A and B are shown apart, each in its own frame.
Chain A
């Protein structure tokens, strides 16, 4: 392959729960590798993987210009409760805010439910006299002596990290800052997180929970980052390191040390950036990214080539991914839904004789019944084997032989017999229900974003997605499915096209029309300066863009809508323009506006970012000949029995066109093209499936 030695050499690494993915890029050269994650010292797999791809390309560490790193270490530390011994300092009288939470039950009917244990036990939660009111005025001055008096207690309790979360500190952080200063003096070894800094937003439970999570993972992340930096330096690396945040931006290592909670969920964010990058390259502005792996499926909406974002996330949700069952985090995140639907999801029949699939997963051990590793419960993969969608002899590039009879036996026993269905009908039921579950999650996600999926294309990646994508798309009335190459390491590839970015959020409650534009403008300038200071070290002089957003609602409502603000103070002075912008967004979501109701802003945000890599839209490939199928397979989908040609993906060249039904196999996965779809390979190597009776243009009338 021609190597472009003028282009910068860039590496990306994504540490996941099972695999560490490595991608090397220089110009058009791309080398990828998957290694098992080394949990005891994650930097080992990182260095090993980097060395393997560098060796293969013939480069050394010293030639790397940019190293982009994403990791689930912070997430896993929370889920496995392996973080630091953390204490919490609150306003006196509110030390249980973390445990009282929302006072609700995430499952109405479960008499035996357990709430997630708080990251800080009650014995390590301390209240100190101080109080700031809703307008930021000091009601009770901080009792500095009481703060100082806590130091020996914290020390003797072996506290390694501390979160400080005072009421209304998003409005006035003076007390938090003073308390932190005192305790830094007294306890120099303890990492301190101020809630008003890490999540300066109204709602004390979410803010405190975020601060506590940050403190909890900080020592572990700081130590990991230091070890990794040292190991890289020793190997000769002299480039720049970026960390990927949950919001999909890149950040400098120092920022990652201060706000490690912002690194939670960076892997899935990489997947969304990967998808967004393809959107630009393919000239498709609106996409639904669909990432289906072994245990879960993640779905994310991408509009105008930007993933949907949110400022709320729940980490460590209970088994069924139920809303409200995890620990809330107020951080900028790429908004996605995750459900328990993957290749390993287990199927069964409930008391209503309904087929249920997941969230329980057979994982890699014992695995699906067809793996023959001790698993005997039917999974989605078993259903796909029984239907003929997966070739038992060609799995994982032929390195593994699957036991189709075991799949059929498990499906028969657990699904077929209770419902009076044959093994193949039982398999079809499982396939159909898992697709419906994912379509349903996508539908809810689209509703929450006010989007019409009929105008979107789907981009599918992750090992299990290509077999199910077209069926899910059909259910969502979507006409195009794109399956990119390197789908297995999509997150890490996505990292390399992320922008250097930081978003600063702050709550300041104002009513439109009675607001002081000068004051707000000054606050936004402050926030922009704060964000710039964090972005500039990593931007290396690249031009920066700034996006200002107001989270607005009618006075009295509980949920805000993000409204992008025009730049400059004058935009803030024009109350009627602000009102119009809000009402336009509101009507888009809810069909109507509320006449005469006042509008208020709760929270403001400033995002400072380099301009994301924007690959040029590529031309269509010229028609190319279609190679002969490498075989044919019987596929049975409910009532229809199909004789399906099988093609080898590597034998297809851009421009080749195939009509469904067809199966396209490759090493890591296989794609199923239903009869209603045509497939072609585009110039970037993506498989593109188009529904033959595309009706997106007339969909509005049809509904």
Chain B
């Protein structure tokens, strides 16, 4: 392009980058093996400039991945300076502090070359189905949580690192699927790289420098513009979460100023004994996602839009855990952080803020061995994400059995049953679980599962909001706390391993979202409709 691009050309190219990143994500989902990726969309994909700044990300993806991946590329560049990168190279890492917060997520980064110059990088991440280690949060340090891959070359100038692939296969209970997932990560970057080079040719671009500066500057200014509309000040919020052995305290101070929003988690509890610790990049990801939903939902996510939001936590606290603590189930607290942010913002802009939600995904991680079928295929593992209710919103009820803040989808029962010898006995809304209020919290759900064979199966519990439910606000009532137990009625601990004996069933009741405003002022038409549809009343 001989002259500098016009405003409209910039916009067209920007849109094109977002479309390329989305295509990258779609290719990943369609070629992945891990059920949580392909059925649930537990991925992220994005394009970065040579300085490691994220320019665009796929619309598909989940916040914990998206915003952590945004930081991750910088670590790749520190380990592999751009001048050492060659066409056909691809890099990999699963360091929780340099990636997305736990070992199961592999981050794969591929440099893009045009006319033998490095012009951009594509990075993507997805949840690998099995990387060995103990199941669930039982590890007491990261060495128990499975295979660790430092910053390594996955592909060296087109040649796959077979040694690493062999290591990955050897360390997984599901070697073929895990290897397939790694290929899926690499291949979506390749497809996207091709697309980017085509685009640069179409627009006659030699580098992305001008476009990169435009995107980052525009986005940063737009977010700052939105922030400047908010009242200035500092607000605090505190939450007690279930914890492992003892309850966990989360504390936030949120400050709105003309140059951005700062969130600090000083005062939060120290590290957990088992895998509930959150590396700071993951805490930052969900914090900025929560803020983004309120102030910048329509502004594309990139280094510029993320820049005005700053997150800190004292080193060593549960939200800035240090190696080598166990981090497997970092989602349990990471996903509570939007509620922490909302708790602060509610004091500043109450009309924009929902009541507390279930927030943390209930991941039903089930493992065992089949009695029937080929011997080498006997091991099965199933990780289904179950959602509870979301909090009531100003002017609207909460959503029932809906993931927030996570962006994943549930797994169809019939698909889960093709992958395991399990049979589901129930999966329905949990009546009466939404917190009452002039706007009602969303309902949780009840799920019951057993084995079809005369065999036990194991369940790794990492659930939150069992002891401390989502709290109502402005007179609204709390959502129902979650419940975990057996079909016989026996209660199970919400954290740790359980063996479900043959003939027994496992029952999970996900929490309800909290209510907003006093129940007495609820619209009688809504109240009637709830009663008639059996949504309220005796709690299931």
Contacts and interface: CB of A to CB of B under 8 A. Distances in A.
B496 interface: no
Interface in A402-435: 419, 421, 428-429, 432-433
Given A103-B387, A121-B533, A477-B202, 14 more contacts: A93-B424, A96-B428, A99-B429, A100-B427, A103-B385, A103-B402, A108-B63, A113-B399, A353-B218, A433-B11, A436-B12, A443-B19, A447-B26, A598-B176
A206 to B, nearest CB: 8
25 contacts: A94-B427, A100-B401, A100-B410, A102-B410, A103-B387, A103-B409, A104-B41, A104-B409, A105-B407, A109-B292, A110-B293, A111-B294, A112-B395, A133-B417, A202-B415, A203-B412, A351-B225, A419-B7, A440-B16, A443-B19, A557-B30, A558-B30, A559-B30, A592-B187, A638-B8
B427 A123 contact: no
A61 to B, nearest CB: 49
Contact of B445 (A100, A104, A205, A590): A100
A82 to B, nearest CB: 20
A134 interface: yes
A487 B247 CA distance: 68
B534 A205 contact: no
B417 A134 contact: yes
A122 interface: yes
A563 B465 CA distance: 47
Given A105-B402, A203-B414, A100 B429 contact: yes
A556 B418 contact: no
A540 interface: no
B445 to A, nearest CB: 6
Interface string B424-436: 1111110000000
Contacts, number: 207
A352 interface: yes
A468 interface: no
A440 B19 contact: yes
A509 interface: yes
A440 B399 contact: no
Contacts of B414: 134, 167-168, 202-204
A703 B201 contact: yes
Contacts of B201: 702-703
B423 interface: yes
Given A351-B222, A559-B30, A204 B412 contact: yes
Contact of B38 (A109, A350, A354, A558): A558
A95 interface: yes
A103 B396 contact: no
A28 interface: no
A104 B403 CA distance: 6
Interface string B167-190: 000000010110110010001001
Interface in B10-33: 11-12, 14-16, 19, 22-23, 26-27, 29-33
A352 to B, nearest CB: 4
B220 to A, nearest CB: 10
B298 A509 contact: no
Contacts of B33: 554, 556-557
Q: Does more than half of chain A's interface fall in helix, strand or loop, or is it mixed?
A: loop
Nearest to B194: A703
A93 B427 contact: yes
Interface size, B (range):
35 or more
B299 to A, nearest CB: 6
Contacts of A591: 187, 190-191
Interface string B419-462: 10001111111000000000000000100100010000000000
B206 to A, nearest CB: 17
Contacts of A127: 428
B418 A509 contact: yes
Contact of B425 (A93, A121, A559): A93
A590 B27 contact: yes
Contacts of A113: 399
- Candidate in A443, A556, A592 with the most chain B CB atoms within 10 angstroms: A556
A13 interface: no
B297 A110 contact: yes
Contacts of A355: 8, 11
A557 B293 contact: no
Contact of B15 (A94, A103, A204, A440): A440
Contact of B198 (A558, A592, A703): A703
Contacts of A440: 15-16, 19
B31 A94 contact: no
A97 B197 CA distance: 44
Contact of B35 (A109, A558, A592): A558
A529 B367 CA distance: 42
B499 interface: no
